[in-house]
Each structure stands twice: as structure tokens, then as C-alpha cells.
Amino acid sequence: MLTPDVLIIGAGPSGLSAGTELVKRGHRVLVVEREAVAGGIPRHCAHKGFGIRDLHRVLDGPTYATRLVAAAQRAGVTIWTTAMVTDWSASAGATITSPHGRFLVTPRATILATGARERPRAARLLPGDRPSGIYTTGQLQNSVHLHHQRVGSRAVILGAELVSFSAVLTMREVGCRTVAMVTEHPRPEAYAPVAKAGGLLFRFPVLVGHRVTRIIGRAQLEGIEIENLSTKQRRVIECDTLITSGDWVPDHELARLGGLAMDGRSKSPIVDGGLRTGSPGVFAIGNLVHPVDTGDVAALDGRHVVASVEQWLASMPPMPSTVQLIPAGVLTWVAPGRWGEFVARPSRGRYLGWVGGFARFPRVTVRQAGDVLATRRLPWPAVPGRLFRIPSSLLRDVTISGGDVTIEVK
């Protein structure tokens, strides 16, 4: 039996950052990670773009992960890898199974930092045969960068998000040419300069307004059939590799196992601005709460939660009163999902949301009890497949007595 002050489940950027800050403040922290190496998803993202907001450096993924792990170890964080949490509840603690045995960990506080993953082909209900050669972006990068495996020679990417272009770079390293990118949306989900530059540099078409109607191939993928959503015309693209990118879902199994209140839209545990869940002493951070954002934003979540955890460890105060935030318009979910008068502002002073449609200059309207509290047109677009940031200042006139709050984006 182990009794650390804080148990952190997940050794990605958010979990490592939270552990490092808590140990620096004198707390005993145990971080457990089911993978053999700590660092999270950045370990197998070889492209640059990590560490900008938290480390103020431009690093590739493996370097970024290595630095976070090294900082945690220097601070004195205990990190267990190849350690699976096989049972967990807020009251009884966690059962951890590892090569060193089976342990019952009963911490004073628990932080869930289990991250997010992409939905695979089966979860997307793609029809057709079931051949090999179909990967999510995460599976592709893990295979190429960690296990040095090869893939095919002709690839189609389903999705046109930022991570989709990351898959293009990964396949290029092993000599696999991208022949097309397919998205059901009327325009690419990635930033326009990225989409245009990617298509011109790597010379493949981005087929907007198309969906996959059939997977073709018995043992090995031979091609995919796609349909133009406007004309209903279908054609076959020959390929031996298909990447299903994006379409994120949080790794929420432990949150559900522990009976935490869940957001039915994002499938994440509901938290307030201080990243408290509805269960006393339990916190949720990073891409478990807002799937999916960059590693450095997740790391800043890890730093942000420290104040709430320390407040709990010091006095175990009752849960603060909060009201629910309800998405409307093209906004499908918002995180944090609860607002309170005596709750910290969300990390970086921003609520994060997901949208189901495009809006070039979206108007955000905040209502409570039928009254419009704030409305503002934002200079950045709302785009499916990309997190939408809402300034917390728009909620400054919300009151705890006014009931639930509606945030509309259109």
C-alpha cells in the first residue's frame, strides 16, 4: 500500500508538468504511466512545434517529451512506467498492476491526465472490407518513429486537420507518398496556409465535400471508394495505406469507472475553471478534458491545476457552487463545463470549445436566465476539427444565482 499526497495517472505533458510543480512545492507525487516510456504522444511526433507556450522553445516532439521527463525527475517526481491502473475510485484509491507487482495507492488527491486518442476505422463505421494497411495517425507515428516499421507506398488520408498534415510528414520519412486527402467538410479543417502549402509542397489534392463509401481489399488494402456529397458521383482511389486522422475522443475509461460526471457531447469529465471534477479531491486536466489541443497547452493545464490541488490538500474545502455552461449554435461542447464565483479563471483565461460548422468571424453570445450578458464578434474563425477559444472575460457578468449559462456561437 502506498499513500502519496497526489497520484497522477498519465505521464504526458499535462501529468508531468503538474507533478513537477507539485513536488517543487513540497508534495509527494506518484505519476503512473501504462507505456514503457514516459512523455506521452509527443514521443512519436517527430515534427517541430512543441514547447512554444510552456518552455518558450521550438522543439520536435521527442525532444520536448525528453525535457519534460528530465525536469520531473530532477524535481524528484516518482514515475512508474509499464504501470496499468486496473481499478480506481475516488474513495478507495487505485489498484496498480506493474511488472513489480500489484499495489493499492490511496492518495489524498488524484489527477487524471489520461489524454485522448483518435477514433479508429471501426468506430467511424467505415463500410467495406477489413484489410491491413489502415492506421490512425497515432498508430502510424508509433509504428514509424518508435518501432521503425515501414508502411505502404500510396496513402490516402481521411481528414484535413493539422494532425493530417503531420501524418503526411511521417509517411514521407518512410517513402510513402500521399495521393489524396479526403474530408466531408466544404474546406480543410487545418489553417488555410498549412492546407495550401501542404498541397502544393507534396502535390496531392485535398478533396473537400467527399466521404469514404467503401474500403476495398481482402488481405491488404487495394483502394477506397469515395463519394462527392454534392453530385453523388463515386470513384475509386488506388492506395495501399489509409490514415484515419483526427476525430478525437478522450481516454475516459477511468473517469467513467470512478463515476465522475461526464459531458455527453465531448465524452470528457466535467470540470470547473480550477479543473476540479464533481468528486472531492479528484481533478482532470489536459486532453482528457479538451480533446485535442497541443502538448504545450496541455502542459499549462498541468501547471494551472496546482493551485486547486494545494487548496484541497491544505484544508479539504467543500466543493464550490457552480453553474453549468451549455453550448448552442455551432458550438457542440465547452470546457471547463462549469462556472463559479469563487473558482479560478480557466487556464490562460480561455474556455475551449468544439464546433460543428464553419464561421469566419464568429459571434459569441452569453445568456443567463434569458438575458444577454455579453456578445462579441471574434477575429479568429470557428472551424470543425480545431479547438475554438472563448475569452473568459465574456462571462464576467454571470452570477451563481442566475442559473445555467448558454454560450452560443454562430
Q: What backbone phi and psi angles, to 5 degrees, belong to 263? A: -85, 120
Give me the half-sphere count of Cα atoms (radius 13 Å) on the Cβ side of residue 26.
3
User: Do the domains 6-117+248-319 and 120-244 sit in the same CATH topology, yes or no?
Assistant: yes
Locus of grid cell 465547452: 334
DSSP codes, 19-54: HHHHHHTT--EEEE-SSSSSS-GGGG--SEEESTTT
Beta bridge partners of 104: 95
Q: What backbone phi and psi angles, to 5 degrees, belong to 219? A: -80, -40
How would you label 92-131 residue by residue, b for 16+ Cβ within 10 Å and e otherwise?
ebbebeeeeeebebebbbbbbbbbbbbeebeeeebebeeb
Measured distance CA(181)–CA(29) in Å, rounded: 44
pLDDT in tens, the chain (410 residues): 999 999 999 999 999 999 999 999 999 999 999 999 999 999 989 888 999 999 999 999 999 999 999 999 999 999 999 999 999 998 899 999 999 899 999 999 999 999 999 999 999 999 999 999 999 999 999 999 888 899 999 999 999 998 999 899 999 989 999 999 999 999 988 877 777 767 667 789 999 999 999 999 999 999 999 999 999 999 999 999 999 998 899 999 999 999 999 999 999 999 999 999 999 999 999 999 999 899 999 999 999 999 999 999 999 999 999 999 999 999 999 999 999 999 999 999 999 999 999 999 999 999 999 999 999 999 999 999 899 999 999 999 999 999 999 999 99
Hey, what amino acid is at 208?
A: V
Domain residue limits, the chain: 6-117+248-319, 120-244, 347-409
The domain covering 6-117+248-319 belongs, at the CATH homologous superfamily level, to FAD/NAD(P)-binding domain (3.50.50.60)
How much is the pLDDT for 46? Answer: 86
Coil, strand or helix at 316 = coil
- pTM of the entire structure? 0.95
Class of domain 120-244: alpha beta
How much is the pLDDT for 86? Answer: 95
End-to-end CA distance of the chain: 52
Which of 380, 409, 381, 374 is CA-nearest to residue 395? 374
How would you label 358-371 residue by residue, b for 16+ Cβ within 10 Å and e otherwise?
ebeebebbbbbeee
Give the helix/strand (H/E) hosting 389: strand 388-391
How much is the pLDDT for 292? Answer: 86
Which of 303, 298, 311 is CA-nearest to residue 108? 311
Yes or no: say if 274 and 307 are a contact pair by the CB < 8 Å rule: yes
Measured distance CA(193)–CA(204) in Å, rounded: 15
How much is the pLDDT for 47? Answer: 84
Measured distance CA(97)–CA(255) in Å, rounded: 18
Which cell goes with 219? 488481405
